[in-house]
Amino acid sequence: MNHIEKLKSGLNLCILKSTSIERTSSIAITEKREYLGALIGSDTHLLNIPSEQTALALSVGSTDFPVKEIVTMSENGSSLVSPVVIKILVDYAARTGAPLKYKIVNTNGEALFETKDVRLVFPLYNPSPIPISKIKEKYSPNRAEIKIGADEISVRLKEYAILGLNRNFPLYDSASSYGTAVYTSQGNIYYAGQYSSPDKRLNLHSEMTAILSALMDNERDIIDIGVVSTKYPDSPCNMCGICRQFISEISSKLNISPNLYCFASETSEFKKWSIAEYLPDSWSSKKWQL
C-alpha cells in the first residue's frame, strides 16, 4: 500500500466529536518502518491529539528512532500549517538531533505544504537540543498477543505496564516514568510510557499513548487498562484527572467500559475501578456521533 492509500485508510481511524471537523491522518517514517496516526478529538477540545503526534507516539512506543519524515493528509485540503503541530515536531527533533521532513497533502496526493527541515519553518522557535539516551535504543514493538485468564489479569497487566515504563519519551534521562498496558478483546496487549513535552501542555500521558497504540491498530474493544509509576513503589498510583477524562470520553465514544487497575511498582498492592467509579458524574457537552 502506498502512502496515499495508507493515509486514506488512516482517516477512518479518526475519533472526532462531530462530522464537521476535518479529518487528518499522518505517517511517521523511520529508516525501516512506518507508523500511521489519526486525529483524536476531545469533548473538551483541550485533549485533542493531532495525527502527527499520534504517529510520533507510536514510533516512540516501539523505540524506533529517529523519525525522518512526517506525511499528513488533510481530507478537505483546507488545513493550514498548525503552529502547534510545528512545535510538536520541532520538540521531537530537538531530542533526536536529526532533520525532520514534513509534508501535507490532499486526498489526491497533491502537496499543500512541504519542508525538508521542520526546524526552519518558524525561525523564532529554536529550542536548545535535548539530548537523551532513549534515542539510541533498538526497535522493539510494544504489542504482545496473549490470552489472559480472569484470575491472572492483574498480574499480567502489571507485567506489561512495567515494560511500558521504558517506552517513555522524557526530557532528561533520570526523569520519573509512568507505564500503561491495555488489553483488548482480541487478545492483544499494548504497552507504552508517557510522551513528555518541553512546555508540559502537550504531554501525552502513558494511558493515552497505550490506548492510542490499540486504537491505531483498529482494536477498539479495550477491556482492561493498568498503570504503574516509578513514583509509587509501595502504594498504588492514581490516574490524573486528564487521563480519567480522556478514558471517559473514549469509553463513551466507543461504547466500552474497561476495568481500570492502578498498581504499586514494587509491591503486589493494586486498586481496581470502573470508569464510572473513578470519574463519577463525568461532564459531556453532548452525545458523541459515530
Q: What is the pLDDT of residue 259?
A: 97
Q: What is the pLDDT of residue 134?
A: 95
Find the angle CA(180)-CA(242)-CA(10) to the nearest 5 degrees: 65
Q: Per-residue pLDDT tens for 213-242?
A: 999 999 999 999 999 999 999 999 999 999
Give me the CATH code for the 3-133 domain, please.
3.40.140.10
Cα–Cα distance measured from residue 139 to residue 51, given in angstroms and rounded to the nearest whole number: 22
Report CA dihedral (256, 283, 168, 41) to the nearest 10 degrees. 80
Main-chain dihedrals φ then ψ at residue 228, nearest 5 degrees: -140, 155
Q: What is the pLDDT of residue 22?
A: 87
Cα–Cα distance measured from residue 5 to residue 260, given in angstroms and rounded to the nearest whole number: 36
Cα–Cα distance measured from residue 222 to residue 215, given in angstroms and rounded to the nearest whole number: 9
Cell 511498582 appears where? 265
Count CB atoms within 10 A of the CB of residue 115: 17
Domains 3-133 and 145-278 share a fold: yes
For the residues 80-107, what does the mean pLDDT come to?
Answer: 96
Inter-residue contact 142 to 213 (CB < 8 Å): yes
Which fold, 145-278?
Answer: Cytidine Deaminase; domain 2 (3.40.140)
Task: Order across the sheet with 143-145: list the strands.
Answer: 143-145, 188-193, 178-184, 222-229, 259-263, 270-274
What 3 state SS string does 177-225 have?
CEEEEEEECCCEEEEEECECCCCCCCCECHHHHHHHHHHCCCCCCEEEE
For the residues 7-29, what does the mean pLDDT come to?
Answer: 91
- Among 74-78, 229-233, 280-284, the range of highest mean pLDDT: 229-233
For the residues 17-39, what does the mean pLDDT come to?
Answer: 92
Q: What is the pLDDT of residue 287?
A: 59
Q: What is the pLDDT of residue 290?
A: 45
Average pLDDT, the chain: 94
Q: Per-residue pLDDT tens for 118-147?
A: 999 999 999 999 999 999 999 999 999 998
Q: What is the pLDDT of residue 282?
A: 78
Q: Per-residue pLDDT tens for 156-195?
A: 999 999 999 999 999 999 999 999 999 999 999 999 999 9
Q: Is residue 289's pLDDT more than 60?
A: no
Q: What is the pLDDT of residue 121?
A: 96
Q: What is the pLDDT of residue 7?
A: 98
Sketch the domain layout of the chain as residue ranges: 3-133, 145-278
Nearest one of 37, 72, 42, 65 to 53, comparing CA atoms? 37
Q: Which of 17-21, 107-111, 121-125, 245-249 has the lowest mean pLDDT?
A: 17-21
- What b/e readout covers 171-206, taking b as 16+ CB neighbours within 10 angstroms? eeeeeebbbbbbbbeeebbbbbbbbbbbeeebebbb
Q: What is the pLDDT of residue 20?
A: 65
Taken in order 266, 271, 239, 10, the sign of the CA dihedral is positive
Q: Is residue 80's pLDDT more than 90?
A: no
For the residues 43-69, what does the mean pLDDT come to?
Answer: 95
What percentage of the chain has pLDDT greater than the value 70? 97
What percentage of the chain has pLDDT greater than the value 90? 86
Q: What pLDDT band is residue 150 in, cutting at 50, 70 and 90?
A: confident
Cell 463513551 appears where? 252
Q: What is the pLDDT of residue 24?
A: 96
Residue type, 178: Y
